[in-house]
């Protein structure tokens, strides 16, 4: 509350924040102080799923003006390196990223950001939808990496927020009991409740309900058994995309994948997805509004984080 209002640089904009979603990574930093090699060493502002209103623009900014409603892409390259030149700026080792140590996020009242990574929202796209573009972008990037196209048979493993956005995107590109119900609501043709089955049994269930083995599996849990099931479930010659992050080392049936020419691909965040996401939302081809299940004012941020930590609902929005 007592942070000074920042002054935007020549190519930056100052924003009054409106909607910020809470991500599992925010909760993980709050609880554990690190994610892999990213360690919180100093006080850090959380939040990277965000939208707001432009308050002030830097001297070099021409495409935005005060009053514009924008969605914020949290990853901004610091230099034009080889990854930026090939359009894969998300892989740049020096990228700035909101709420990844040591970079502050945007869960605050006023925030400044690179103007090039603020995208104007059409009048028919809400602030909440603008904030949801960040998790939606994970789904878009994953489905691009997987090669999802019209008619693809897709198995999405996991029905948390990222699993659900992958269902939404896969269906558009055409793809917990309460979360499985939400998956049905947003477009899943079939859902499977996994209890004590082996990965091979889960794979058989997937083939049974789909009527065939899926060409594409999008694994959103990071759980070892789910990754194993994803490989076993995928049709020979197909693709498994690993979205969920779990332990650094996992045991997987890599020989099974190799001899069946199943490609295993990773994703790291996203790139070049905000324009696509805005177009999808503005055209009403997709609907992300059902994902928001809880809303809190900034003053109740702790309660919002506690709600996310308990795994209640799907997406908590501040």
**Count of residues making up the chain:** 318
Shared domain check, 27 and 92 = yes
Q: Does any domain span residue 6?
A: no
Shared domain check, 245 and 147 = yes
The DSSP call for residue 315 is E
**Cβ atoms 170, 162 nearer than 8 A:** no
**Cβ atoms 280, 172 nearer than 8 A:** yes
With residues binned 3-state (H G I as helix, E B as strand, rest as coil), the percentages for the chain, rounded to 5, are 35, 20, 45
**What is the pLDDT at residue 177?**
67
pLDDT in tens, 81-120: 999 999 999 999 999 999 999 999 999 999 999 999 999 9
- Strand stretches in 140-211, DSSP E: 154-157
- Of the candidates 152, 191, 183, 165, the one whose C-alpha atom is nearest the C-alpha of residue 280 is 165
Q: Tell me how many domains the chain contains.
A: 2
Mean pLDDT of 233-242: 97
Shared domain check, 177 and 237 = yes
Q: Does any domain span residue 273?
A: no
Mean pLDDT of 172-194: 75
Q: Does any domain span residue 78?
A: yes
* Residue carrying the six token digits 């942070």: 3
Shared domain check, 155 and 257 = yes
Percent of the chain with pLDDT over 90: 80
**What is the pLDDT at residue 163?**
87
Run of H or E including 18: strand 12-21
Shared domain check, 248 and 153 = yes
Torsion 1-96-222-213 (CA) sign: positive
Q: Does any domain span residue 131?
A: no
pLDDT in tens, 22-79: 999 999 999 999 998 899 999 999 999 999 999 999 999 999 999 999 999 999 999 9
Q: Does any domain span residue 281?
A: no
Q: Does any domain span residue 277?
A: no
Q: Tell me the chain's radius of gyration from C-alpha atoms.
A: 20
Q: Does any domain span residue 7?
A: no
Shared domain check, 104 and 198 = no
Shared domain check, 152 and 115 = no
Shared domain check, 207 and 301 = no
Percent of the chain with pLDDT over 70: 98
The Cα 286–Cα 140 span in angstroms is: 12
**What is the pLDDT at residue 175?**
46
Shared domain check, 298 and 206 = no
In this structure, what CATH number is given to the domain that contains residue 222?
3.40.50.720
Shared domain check, 143 and 96 = no
Domain range spanning residue 248? 139-266
The Cα 47–Cα 64 span in angstroms is: 23
Q: Does any domain span residue 3?
A: no
> Is pLDDT of 3 > 80?
no
Instruction: Calculate the average pLDDT of the chain.
Output: 93
Alpha helices per DSSP H over 187-300: 199-210, 224-233, 254-259, 274-282
Run of H or E including 177: helix 177-186
**What is the pLDDT at residue 27?**
94
Instruction: Assign 174 a pLDDT band (cuts: 50, 70, 90).
Output: low
Shared domain check, 234 and 301 = no
> Is pLDDT of 307 > 90?
yes
Shared domain check, 255 and 153 = yes
**What is the pLDDT at residue 160?**
85
Instruction: Assign 176 a pLDDT band (cuts: 50, 70, 90).
Output: low
The Cα 184–Cα 159 span in angstroms is: 10
Residues 6+ apart with CB under 8 A from 230: 155, 157, 217, 219, 240
**What is the pLDDT at residue 151?**
87
In this structure, what CATH number is given to the domain that contains residue 23?
3.90.180.10
């Amino acid at each position: 509350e007592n942070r000074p209002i920042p002054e935007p640089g020549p190519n930056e904009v100052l924003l009054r924040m409106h909607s910020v979603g809470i991500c599992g990574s925010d909760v993980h930093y709050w609880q554990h102080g690190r994610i892999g090699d990213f360690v919180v060493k100093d006080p850090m502002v959380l939040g990277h799923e965000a939208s707001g209103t432009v308050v002030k623009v830097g001297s070099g900014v021409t495409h935005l003006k005060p009053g514009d409603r924008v969605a914020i892409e949290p990853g901004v390259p610091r230099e034009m390196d080889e990854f930026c030149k090939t359009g894969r700026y998300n892989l740049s080792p020096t990228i700035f990223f909101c709420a990844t140590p040591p970079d502050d996020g945007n869960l605050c009242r006023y925030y400044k950001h690179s103007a090039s990574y603020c995208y104007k929202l059409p009048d028919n796209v809400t602030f909440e939808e603008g904030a949801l573009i960040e998790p939606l972008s994970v789904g878009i990037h994953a489905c691009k990496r997987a090669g999802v196209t019209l008619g693809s048979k897709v198995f999405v493993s996991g029905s948390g927020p990222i699993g659900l956005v992958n269902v939404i995107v896969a269906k558009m590109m055409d793809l917990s009991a309460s979360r499985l119900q939400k998956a049905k609501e947003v477009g899943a043709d079939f859902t499977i409740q996994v209890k004590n089955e082996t990965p091979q049994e889960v794979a058989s269930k997937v083939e049974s309900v789909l009527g065939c083995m899926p060409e594409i599996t999008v694994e959103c849990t990071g759980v070892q058994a789910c990754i194993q099931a994803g490989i076993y479930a995928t049709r020979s010659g197909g693709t498994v995309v690993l979205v969920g992050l779990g332990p650094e080392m996992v045991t997987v049936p890599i020989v099974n994948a190799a001899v069946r020419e199943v490609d295993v691909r990773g994703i790291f965040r996203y790139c070049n997805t905000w324009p696509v996401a805005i177009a999808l939302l503005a055209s009403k081809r997709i609907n992300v509004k059902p994902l928001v299940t809880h809303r809190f004012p900034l003053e109740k941020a702790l309660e919002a984080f506690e709600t996310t930590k308990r795994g209640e609902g799907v997406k908590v929005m501040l």
